[in-house]
Structure 1
Amino acid sequence: MKIDWIAKLRHFLQIVAFCLAIAAIYYAFMPYKPYEIALVYSLSIGLLSWVLIDFGRHFFPSSDETGWPEGAVGIALPLVGNVLGYLGGTLFADRWFGFSSWNLEDRPQLRISIGVTVLSALALTYFFYSRGKSAWLQAKVTEVRSQATEAQLKLLETQLEPHMLFNTLANLRVLIGTDPARAQAMLDRIIAYLRATLSASRSTLHPLAHEFDRLRDYLELMAVRMGPRLAYTLDLPDTLRDAPVPPLLLQPLVENAIRHGLEPQVDGGHITVRASTRPGASGPMLVIEVNDTGAGLPDALPTPGPGQSFGLTQVRERLATLHGAAGTLELIAASPIGTSASVVFPLKFSPSP
């Protein structure tokens, strides 16, 4: 029997607050009796009833929806608990004050006492029952949202992988006609890259170190075709190696830098990928920059479509799916030449010191 003691403490405080309210109402209708009497009777009956019901339910199978015992037990437990709580709590308070609540000569007082107890018991039972069901429904909604997010990320990833593969095969096709030896080397790199990528576990997130490893494989693959025209630097602090990121998040940015930045230049250029953090309104933000020394941004970005800004659109959609407005992608002109792509989103783990 596993008990959530934090939840029990919260229930205890709620019961105490409810008993204080009942005692105040009782005193308002009978101001000629000291408030301390109403308070002791209310706390005695309320707390004993709560202990019998809230702890007693753990001895019976409970519904996943409400955390409440199923079947006849679910009805009998609050009834028996409240009756025993009323009898035991009243007896305790009688002993405390030296009273006798079972004096039949004071029947109006007895009826009021029983009536208040019954109404209070019904209100409390409904409150805890509805709270349990509401918590279950909220958990199911959270679960469904999580599954929908994962499904959407999977869909975006499955759209992105063929896009990357087709672009790589197009590059290979060019080399086959111009430099068969380098085409063979590039084909070997493609096989190794796909083996490493496709054999990895299929998940919506993986460590940033894995993302940098796949990025290094891709850049080495592109270096076979471009030769000395492509140089790169990968800067990943050890403290951020385990930061969770979506797979293939950075590759479209690097692919975009090569295609639109380095390739149009005769001398090629240099690509730097750097990870860092910065303060945010709700905690630290992970910042990943892809900087190149290429041709720079055009006056107007092409409309997303086949072969046009597809990767950038995918990156933005994946960030929005995971982080909403907190995940951003910005393209800015670098100084003195080139382009800088900056991805920023909340850091979901604590970096090691």
Structure 2
Amino acid sequence: MPPIPTPSTSRFDRRELLIAAGLSLVLAAGMFLPAALTCHFGDCSSGDHPRLRDWLGRSGWIWCLWLAATMSQPWLPESPEQRSYGLGLQILTLTLLCPALGTLLGQTRGSMLPHNPYDLQVQASFAAVACLGAEYRQRRRRGEADAASLSQNAPMLARQLDEARMALLQAQVEPHFLFNTLAHLRRLARLDPQAARAMLADLRLYLAAALPELRQTEVPLERELALVRAFLALHQRRIGPDRLSLSFDIAPGLEQLVVPATCLLTLAENAVKHGITPQVAGGEISVRAGPDPQQPGLLRLEVADTGVGMGESSGGGTGLVTLRSRIAALHGPAARLSLHLNQPRGLIARLQLPWP
């Protein structure tokens, strides 16, 4: 399965920095405006404007506080417990550092530095609001990134779940076929050792070609047909060519179409087991593939037999139930598996798949 991509997280988000800087400037301008108006309408002719410098220092402090909180927040630890301590240290640092920077910007004589517990409390409150605001923005941004990542990866996760489900279902098909074949071979070994040796050679050739295909989810139709031909030839040797005749009718140009692995093999096995074997006289198995003449846009795959026909167990066996689940996982409701009466007798297993 391909790895699931994770969202890229950068230390700084340009949009967040612009928002923080803009908000800081708005707050700083709000604090600076009263002093500017006082100077404009008051007596500023002396050239000494302590109130203006004081408000400039406070504005610079606010701007430094918000910007420093935003820029230092991404370096906080990821662990929740360590992040709490880091957030407290961040608030304490900004409480002491930003007033000093504001004093420097306003060229005041320590007007922004805390002179009493009340000043320290006010500055700590401003620092806490700035740091917690930056923390909220960061968490919201991460939440949005995680939600976008989950939404983007949802189809891939669903595909991986379907592949895992199909692998589990397909694992039920492989031993089902192998155990049946080995049981027939064991019985034949007691009755006709020479025929058993010939059948064992055919089985070895079949497995050499089939086992690589059994571990795949989908295969080209050409390879699936080769698998079915080898399978039916093996059973034709087992029950005799006089009891089992074979025919193939494949429309040209379909060789490279992708179909569910072992889909025709399952239908062929069902035809041999429930159609031909119970009938003493045997019968014929026909494999057909082509466009669906009644429903354009669908590929029709059929395995028809002239065996005993519809029985109580028809359609309810492990192989057909598993195949229905596999094609539903691959193609959804567009894929269908149905059984129909054949004429003059027997059964037709019809598999309809979306045309690529």
Give me the TM-score of the superposition, normalised by structure 1.
0.60
Whether contact under 8 Å (2:213, 2:219) holds in the other structure is: no
Match of 1:271 among 285, 294, 308: 285
- What displacement does 1:247 show? 1.3
Corresponding residue number in structure 2 for 1:208: 221
- 192-201 or 324-333: bigger deviation: 192-201
Aligned pair in 2 of structure 1 residues 234, 81: CA closer, same or farther (>3 Å)?
Answer: farther
Rounded Cα–Cα distance in structure 2 between residues aligned with 1:275 and 1:303: 20
Aligned pair in 2 of structure 1 residues 202, 262: CA closer, same or farther (>3 Å)?
Answer: closer
Aligned pair in 2 of structure 1 residues 157, 64: CA closer, same or farther (>3 Å)?
Answer: closer
Match of 2:246 among 199, 217, 232: 232
Match of 2:334 among 326, 339, 347: 326
- What displacement does 1:344 show? 1.0
Corresponding residue number in structure 1 for 2:68: none
Whether contact under 8 Å (2:246, 2:286) holds in the other structure is: yes
Rounded Cα–Cα distance in structure 1 between residues aligned with 2:193 and 2:310: 33
Whether contact under 8 Å (1:276, 1:288) holds in the other structure is: yes
In the alignment, structure 1 residue 336 sits paired with structure 2 residue 276: no
Rounded Cα–Cα distance in structure 2 between residues aligned with 1:130 and 1:279: 51
Aligned pair in 2 of structure 1 residues 132, 329: CA closer, same or farther (>3 Å)?
Answer: same
Rounded Cα–Cα distance in structure 2 between residues aligned with 1:81 and 1:189: 75
In the alignment, structure 1 residue 284 sits paired with structure 2 residue 297: yes
Rounded Cα–Cα distance in structure 2 between residues aligned with 1:150 and 1:279: 31
Alignment of 1:73-88 (within 5 A): 73-74=12-13, 76-77=14-15, 79-80=17-18
Rounded Cα–Cα distance in structure 2 between residues aligned with 1:280 and 1:146: 30
The residue matched to 2:321 in structure 1 has which SS? helix
Deviations 1:65-124 (A, max 9, x none): 2x6x611x31x356559999xxxxxxxxxxxxxxxxxxxxxxxxxxxxxxxxxxxxxxxx
Deviations 1:188-218 (A, max 9, x none): 1111111212234832111111111110110
Percent identical among aligned pairs is 37
Aligned pair in 2 of structure 1 residues 70, 201: CA closer, same or farther (>3 Å)?
Answer: farther
Q: Which amino acid aligns with 1:70?
A: S
- Consecutive unaligned residues in structure 1, runs of 5 or more: 1-62, 85-127
Aligned pair in 2 of structure 1 residues 80, 217: CA closer, same or farther (>3 Å)?
Answer: same
- What displacement does 1:238 show? 3.3
Aligned pair in 2 of structure 1 residues 217, 302: CA closer, same or farther (>3 Å)?
Answer: closer
Whether contact under 8 Å (2:174, 2:214) holds in the other structure is: no
Rounded Cα–Cα distance in structure 1 between residues aligned with 2:271 and 2:213: 26
Match of 1:182 among 187, 190, 195: 195
Rounded Cα–Cα distance in structure 1 between residues aligned with 2:6 and 2:319: 43
Whether contact under 8 Å (1:212, 1:234) holds in the other structure is: no
Alignment of 1:80-119 (within 5 A): 80=18
Alignment of 1:1-353 (within 5 A): 64-65=6-7, 70-71=10-11, 73-74=12-13, 76-77=14-15, 79-80=17-18, 134-200=147-213, 202-228=215-241, 229-278=243-292, 284-298=297-311, 300-301=312-313, 304=316, 309-347=317-355, 349=356
Q: Which amino acid aligns with 1:210?
A: R
Rounded Cα–Cα distance in structure 2 between residues aligned with 1:231 and 1:145: 43
Q: Which amino acid aligns with 1:225?
A: R
Give me the TM-score of the superposition, normalised by structure 2.
0.59
Rounded Cα–Cα distance in structure 2 between residues aligned with 1:338 and 1:302: 11
- Consecutive unaligned residues in structure 2, runs of 5 or more: 23-140
Q: Which amino acid aligns with 1:301?
A: S
